[in-house]
Structures are given as structure tokens and as C-alpha cells.
Amino acid sequence: MQLISTLLSKRILFALFFLVCSLAVLGQTGSLSGRVIDAGTEEPLPFANVFISSTTMGSTTALDGSFLIERIPFGAVQLVVSFVGYKHQTFNFDFTESFNLSTAISLEPALEELSTIEVTSKKDKKWERNLSKFTKVFLGETEFSKGCKILNPWVLEFAEDKDNGLVATASRPVEIENHALGYKVFYHLRLFKANSTNFFFTGETRFEEMTPADEKQKSQWIKNRVIAFKGSTRHLFLAILYEYIQKGQLQQEGFALLQEKFPREGPIVRHPDLAKTKKEILIDYPLENLVGASYRAGLYRILLSGKVEVHYKREQGVPKNTIYNDTLAEVSWLEVKEGYVDVTKTGLNQKPDQLLVSGAMSQGWVAMMLPNDYDPASNNP
């Protein structure tokens, strides 16, 4: 756990290195305030949920519909506003230039009236089977998945698409208790599709810290969060940034980058042994010039061209997607649409839609999700 154990000291080196280009933004946080009202009557909507997606940061509106969210980290964020009986809305804000923003939000009533929630006993056997399929995909099938529970499965409805794939919708946010990581997760499911070979789901996520029962559970949550963080795209991007200022960091963190000798369209046939695959198909990815100049102070541009094969040797936890016989390295593939990703100094990708991830890194599922404001150097539960 080199990155975790030495992260605080390396932050000092990292901050000093980039001081000239980002002095004004290092450590800067912002605030977002506003008021939520009914679009038709313009009456305030008290007790609406207002949160920064994929974080623990959020609030509920006061009696006059007002809200305030503070300590928002530098970078691009997505604000989510939801209220029972209204269409939930999302808004994008950029905290790279202005750090104290204000907005007015109007919510429109949902087109369909809220139906009476069905009790679980009225769900038929087919729905139960579909729920089981959904849960395996949504939560995953890892050790951490065993510590997760969907608290309100009755909000889910299932259907089949033209290819006999499973489609899921939710009338309310799906609530999950993750006893492996110590978070309660509220997932605003926008789209879920799964078939025998592929799956895709997307939505906005709100995290709440759970209270540990004792010091033992607190310690276990800290350990498990580190395991979930290790091998993630955020961990990789941080390692690349540190590689830029101190060679050898990628290898020290357990990562190796490779690329095809002769790029081609479509999948390539790999040998079961990595050694033979490297000899015939793959070469080491050049580590020079991995970090380029960014268009904005405080953001760092990571340059990745073509299809990059990422290997990660996990120190803790069970490796996933180990496709070669002669190594336990987890294997992932990254494809960047424009040849670069812009990340913050904490490794957060500012344009996730520009990055296509497959393999081990795509197998995050909800059970392995960490909020964006998770600090791997913190000992908080």
C-alpha cells in the first residue's frame, strides 16, 4: 500500500511541484447556494434533497426552499435536486474559476401520479427472478457485495428488450446499505440494461456515512475502502501524476501499461500466458510525456492514445479479471476518445464520458463504489 501509506508526504512534493501553475487553486473549496421552488406555483419546496452527485455532500432545503452546500472540492461537479412527486433534475457546475456560486431551481411535477407502492408479497415469481439477476449485476458478486442489501426493492420494475435482455427502472432512488464500506447509497437509476454478455447502468449517486458499531468495524471499513480504491481509475491517474514527478511510481503502485504492437480494429487473440502475448502482440506503453499541459490551472492532462492495457497487481483482496495464466495481475483496457483526460490533483476525471473502461476496472459495481470526496489518506471511517 505504497500510495496510501506515503500519500501525505507525497502530497507535499506534488503540491510544491505544481505550485507555479496552480497556486491559486490548491486546497481551494467552494460553496453552492440556491432556492428550490415549484415551477408552476413558484411556491418554495421545503425538505427537497439537494446533493453533489457521487459524494457525501448534500443538504435538504429549508422551509423557504433555500439550501447551502459548502466545502465543494475544486473541479466540475453535478448537482442533483429531487423531491417526491416531482421530476428530479441535474445541473453541472464548474468550480475551477468561481468558488461561490448561487442558483435558482424550478422543479416540475412528475407526469404520472405516484402509485401506491406494492407490497413485496404481490410481486410474482418472475419479478423475483429478475430482482435476483438485477442484484447480481448491480451489486456485483464480490466479497463486498455480500455486505450489501437493497432496502427498497419494491421500487424496481423489470421488462425485456427486443434481444431478451433485462431492463430495469425505478420509481424512487434505490437505497443500498453497504456494510462492507460503511456507506448508505441512494442510487437515482436512469438506465439499466443487461444480457448474457454485457451490462450497462447509469444514474446519480448520493452517499451517506454509516456509524460504525465499534472500533473494530471502523477499522475494517477503513481497510475495505483502501481495497476498493486500489486498482481504480482514480488510483491509476494519481500514480501517473506521481510518475511524472518521480519515475517508478507506476510500478511501485502495482501498475503496468501496455499497448498493441500493431493496432488493429476489433478484438485481438491473446495467448493464455502473458509472456508469449507480450512477445507476439503487446509492448510496454511509453511512460514519457504521459502528462501534458492542461487548458486550466489546477487540472492536469493525462495523455493516453489508442487502446491501453492496464495491469494491476493487487496486494489486498481477491484479484478480478486475471486473464493470463502466468500472472495474478488484474487486466483492464482504457480507450480515451480524444487522446487525453483532464484530472484534478486528487485524480478525479473531469469528463468520465470521454473514457471507455473495460475489464477489471469496469467491474466496480455499487458494492465497490466510493464517493468522490473519499480521501485515501484519511483514517476517518
For β-strands 330-336 and 307-312, DSSP reports them as antiparallel
Structure confidence at residue 216 (pLDDT):
96
Question: In this model, does residue 16 exceed pLDDT 50?
Answer: no
Structure confidence at residue 314 (pLDDT):
84
Structure confidence at residue 63 (pLDDT):
97
Locate 24 and state its grid cell: 491559486
Rounded to the nearest 10°, the torsion over CA 326, 327, 328, 329 is: -150
Question: In this model, does residue 303 exceed pLDDT 90?
Answer: yes
Rounded to the nearest 10°, the torsion over CA 223, 334, 188, 81 is: 100
Structure confidence at residue 22 (pLDDT):
42
Alpha-carbon span 351 to 186, nearest angstrom: 22
Alpha-carbon span 159 to 168, nearest angstrom: 6
Question: In this model, does residue 38 exceed pLDDT 90?
Answer: yes
Question: Residues, the chain, total?
Answer: 381
- CA-nearest of 186, 125, 206, 184 to 158 is 125
The residue whose grid cell reads 511509453 is 286
**Other Cβ atoms within 10 Å of 133 Cβ, number:** 14
Higher per-residue pLDDT: 105 or 30: 105
Share of the chain above pLDDT 70, in %: 86
Mean pLDDT (whole number) for 87-114: 83
Alpha-carbon span 101 to 32, nearest angstrom: 5
Q: Strand 300-303's sheet: what is its strand order?
A: 291-292, 300-303, 340-343
Mean pLDDT (whole number) for 169-187: 96
Q: Is the dihedral of CA 208, 212, 215, 219 positive or negative?
A: negative
pLDDT tens by residue, 118-142: 444 457 889 999 999 999 999 988 8
Share of the chain above pLDDT 90, in %: 54
In one letter, which amino acid is 291? V
Structure confidence at residue 240 (pLDDT):
94
Higher per-residue pLDDT: 12 or 90: 90
pLDDT range class, residue 100, cuts 50, 70, 90: confident
Question: In this model, does residue 169 exceed pLDDT 80?
Answer: yes
Residue 78 CB contacts under 8 Å (≥ 6 apart), including other chains = 52, 53, 54, 90, 91, 92, 93, 204
What H or E segment, with its residue span, contains residue 64? none
Structure confidence at residue 381 (pLDDT):
65
Backbone angles phi and psi of 132, in degrees to 5: -65, -45
Angle at 82 between CA 78 and CA 86, to 5 degrees: 135
- CA-nearest of 10, 30, 9, 5 to 238 is 10
Burial track 207-245 (b if 16+ CB lie within 10 A, e otherwise): beebeeeeeeebebbbebbbbbbbbbbbbbbbbbbbbbe
The CATH class, in words, for 28-107 is mainly beta
- CA-nearest of 234, 257, 255, 250 to 343 is 234
Mean pLDDT (whole number) for 240-259: 91
Structure confidence at residue 127 (pLDDT):
94
- In the structure, how many helices (H) and strands (E) does the chain have? 7, 21
- CA-nearest of 49, 47, 48 to 58 is 49
CA 72 to chain centroid? 17
The residue whose grid cell reads 473514457 is 355
pTM as predicted: 0.83
Alpha-carbon span 341 to 228, nearest angstrom: 22
Question: In this model, does residue 202 exceed pLDDT 50?
Answer: yes
SS (H, E, C) 98-130: CCEEEEEEEECECCCCCCCCCCHHHCCHHHHHH
